[in-house]
Structure 1
Amino acid sequence: MNDLVGFIVALIALRISQRDNTPKALSFGWQRAQLLGAFFNGVFLLALGVSIFLQSIERFVSLQKVENPMLILIMGCVGLTLNIISVTFLHEHDHDHEGTNELPAATGTDNNIDLSTLQDTTHPHQDHRHQVIEPKGKGHDLGMMGVLVHLIGDAINNVGVIIAAAVIWKAKYEGRFYADPGVSMGIAIMILLSALPLVKNSGTILLESVPLGVNLDDVKHDLEKVEGVVSIHELHAWRLSQNKALASAHVLTSDDSLTSFMNQARLINQCLHAYGIHSTTLQPELATSIGGDGGRELHGLRQRTVKTASCQISCGSLCEDLTCCG
């Protein structure tokens, strides 16, 4: 029954994520539907593992004798065979699906430049830390992993049933009946250990965690190296899905020219592309005008900005608690 629930949840999530008609209330569409399904399957498995663990403790206290271990052994073998066939099929499907979903850290032309090209451009990206970062794989599809974990958990359960039935069938001592709750407890622990990574990986994306391998301090360091950028604040980076990362930032610039800011934004996008972030929202803010000694005054302005870290386009004190970082 638990396998059926996992299949149904994963199938519904997959169908929803492929819908073309998106409600206006969902500005990002159904892109997190599979993540939500994977998280549900993971939590369901955690609950199942806890339930089996508690039941095994209860069976330790009040021991029950198994009357027909041979029949249980046959049923366990049949169930394990079906599990192996299903896991093999889904593993091959997951491998093919993973190959089509992998995205390089930076592709295309113009704003979507190749990472090697970005690394060779030494002048605008001099001293940038992204030059030592290599693109990371996207990993397995979490929606499919939810189904696989269900099947693997059921296969482990069948293996435990086979072991317990064989011990009860062949052994002659009275304590052989403890094999059933003992194996059940081991199965529960293995289900819990297999479900935890699924819950963690899907949950961190739902919590809008920073993309894997990205250090916001390094990103801020690189963006502030762009010529004309005084400082970066309100910097956020998060994962929309397994394959998509977004970022937003407030850019304090020393030039009031729109053309100059567009050039800065282009370089900022190139830096973020190297980190695997391909969708960016930038809010420009104008710094105080710089006089004769531009370099020295810009350095002083940057130091003052770092100390105050104040936003020039603020919401006001009344709605401070309602901002994203309030």
Structure 2
Amino acid sequence: SKRPPDGTLTYGYQRFQILAAFVNGLSLLAVVGWILFEAVRRFVNPRDVLGETMLVIAVAGLVVNLVSFVVLHTGDKDNLNVRGAALHVAGDLLGSIAAIVAAVVIIYTGWTLIDPLLSVAVAALILKSAWALVKRSAHVLLEGAPEWLNVDTMQELIVANVPDVEEIHHVHIWGLTPQQLILTMHVSLCAPVASQSEVIRQVKSLLKTEYGIGHSTIEVDVDGCADH
């Protein structure tokens, strides 16, 4: 995703991290489906479980998953792909913890249904996070505006702080990633000005300062909007 732009992908390859996060989210949903399917099978046809063997394997898995989770948790928390990978590991981590609890219960009580019951609980926890990841990455892929940004408020702020701007329209804002925002807009002026470039500079500066939008294209309408 850090490869520079080229003649084919003029924005570069940063969207790959969003696409990877989307696929990660879908795969987590598939994992949830598989866990629930297996849990139902074990409810319908309970099987004998070797609690001691299950406990040893679960503890080993817990150690490995803890190390992986710590490594990923120290990464870029705003990177959706890193979050997706961390969710995968978190799901495995929860599975290991559930298996340890189930193994202990089985060893001391012989109640094997605890295993599918805890599996359903783990699936429910993973489902919530996986759906949030799919929803957020899909929003970026569909070029939705950042959820925290109110476009109407932004327009009012520009009109209030850039004296020559009378009205704003054709506003489009999206992100290559949640951190790298891009905006295009048309502005109408109150009256002819000596330098349209200065008006554009003021608008760009406000967008950068207030909203962190570093890539903006501002078109000044002189005799009405050419796109109407």
TM-score, normalising length from structure 2?
0.90
Structure 1 residue 187 corresponds to structure 2 residue 125? no
1:288-320, CA deviations, whole angstroms, 9 ceiling, x for partnerless residues? xxxxxxxxxxxxxxxxxxxxxxx63137xxxxx
Report what 1:82 is aligned to. Answer: 64
How far off is 1:46 after superposition? 1.2
- Unaligned residue ranges in structure 2 (runs of 5+): none
Report what 2:184 is aligned to. Answer: 248
Structure-1 separation of matches of 2:174 and 2:64: 40
Alignment of 1:1-326 (within 5 A): 17-20=1-4, 22-66=5-49, 68-92=50-74, 94=75, 98=76, 139-172=77-110, 176-225=111-160, 226-256=162-192, 259-273=194-208, 274-287=210-223, 312-314=225-227
Structure-1 separation of matches of 2:206 and 2:3: 33
TM-score, normalising length from structure 1?
0.64
How far off is 1:206 after superposition? 1.9
SS at match of 1:284: strand
SS at match of 1:80: helix
- Unaligned residue ranges in structure 1 (runs of 5+): 1-16, 99-138, 288-310, 316-326
Structure-2 separation of matches of 1:44 and 1:143: 13
Structure-1 separation of matches of 2:214 and 2:156: 18
The answer on whether the counterparts of 1:246 and 1:278 sit within 8 Å (CA) in structure 2 is: yes
How far off is 1:42 after superposition? 1.3
The answer on whether the counterparts of 1:53 and 1:189 sit within 8 Å (CA) in structure 2 is: no
The answer on whether the counterparts of 1:87 and 1:148 sit within 8 Å (CA) in structure 2 is: yes
Structure-2 separation of matches of 1:254 and 1:89: 55
How far off is 1:30 after superposition? 0.1
Structure-2 separation of matches of 1:252 and 1:140: 36
1:82-129, CA deviations, whole angstroms, 9 ceiling, x for partnerless residues? 11122122223x1xxx4xxxxxxxxxxxxxxxxxxxxxxxxxxxxxxx
SS at match of 2:177: coil
* Deviation larger for 57-66 or 142-151: 57-66
How far off is 1:212 after superposition? 4.8
How far off is 1:255 after superposition? 4.1
How far off is 1:54 after superposition? 2.5
- Which amino acid counterpart does residue 3 of structure 2 have in structure 1? R
Structure-2 separation of matches of 1:159 and 1:241: 34
Structure-2 separation of matches of 1:31 and 1:89: 22
1:260-279, CA deviations, whole angstroms, 9 ceiling, x for partnerless residues? 21121111112212221111
- Which amino acid counterpart does residue 239 of structure 1 have in structure 2? G
Work out the number of aligned pairs and report it.
226
Structure showing greater Rg: 1
Structure-1 separation of matches of 2:182 and 2:2: 21
Over 3 Å counting, the alpha-carbon distance change for 1:312 and 1:90 in structure 2 is closer
The answer on whether the counterparts of 1:50 and 1:192 sit within 8 Å (CA) in structure 2 is: no
